Amino acid sequence: MTQLVLVENNRSYATVLRAGLAVEGYEVDLADDVRSGLALIRQRDVDLVILELGLAGQLGFDLLEALQANGDQVPVLVLSTWRDDAHKERAFELGADDYVTKPVSMETLLARIKALLRRVNAGDRAGPSWVRVGDIHIHPPRRVVERHGKRVALRRKEYDLLLALLRQRGHAVSRADLLREVWRREPGRSIRTVDTHILMLRRKVEHDPHAPRHILTVYGKGYMLAPTPEDR
């Protein structure tokens, strides 16, 4: 059974939502704050987190930051009353995978949950076994990245960005194309999200993030994963 964690401080809304999701075969654990939400995520084998940003005490952004800092790759669907673009942009920059505003019909929410889980599962099965990029080794089926034999903790969006570059290895990929593929959105002012995540990714996989050898900037075109000798 697919395991969800719903972090929502409106108890009556959370109860109704859990009942509707249970009818569709989902098992849902409830949390009403960041601390209890993180505890559930770390205790359970969670497939998806549904998160309200406007929580009492710590905000939902704090949960996203904690997951990012720990390298957790559990997908997060934000389901919030906050509608403005600034909140959406911050949520995506902190690793949220989708953003849905309330009120929303159960049919629409279920469709977004299923679509997100399909994307996650497809990513888990993509590609060959181990792929080497310099001193980095990537295992797409298990979503594992190692450098010098040690596991690199990547957030889901960082890994998805690396995988998108890997698919086009040796070729420049525009920021707009990366935004569409990784964030599933049309490009706009939030296109800087790509640059922010490239910077975070370089800090984790490059020996010197200021002189990258693997994730290269192709000026005027975008970014490229360094080609193999056969690609040159």
What confidence tens digit (pLDDT) does each residue in 50-77 have? Answer: 999 999 888 999 999 998 877 777 889 9
Three-class secondary structure of residue 146 per DSSP: strand
Domain annotation for the chain: domains and CATH numbers: 3-124 (3.40.50.2300), 130-231 (1.10.10.10)
pLDDT at residue number 231 = 46
**Measured distance CA(37)–CA(163) in Å, rounded:** 28
Kindly report, residue by residue over 94-124, the tens digit of the pLDDT.
Answer: 888 889 999 999 999 999 999 888 877 665 5
**Measured distance CA(216)–CA(232) in Å, rounded:** 14
Q: Which residues, at least 6 apart from 31, have a Cβ–Cβ distance to it below 8 Å?
A: 5, 6, 7, 8, 37, 39, 40
Three-class secondary structure of residue 51 per DSSP: strand
Q: Which residues, at least 6 apart from 117, have a Cβ–Cβ distance to it below 8 Å?
A: 2, 47, 48, 75
Containing 102, the helix (H) or strand (E) segment is none
**Measured distance CA(154)–CA(162) in Å, rounded:** 10
Name the more confident of 13 and 141. 13
Model confidence at 206: pLDDT above 70? yes
Kindly report, residue by residue over 86-96, the tens digit of the pLDDT.
Answer: 898 889 888 88
**Measured distance CA(5)–CA(10) in Å, rounded:** 14
C-alpha pair distances (Å), 151 with each of 69, 98, 141 = 15, 27, 15
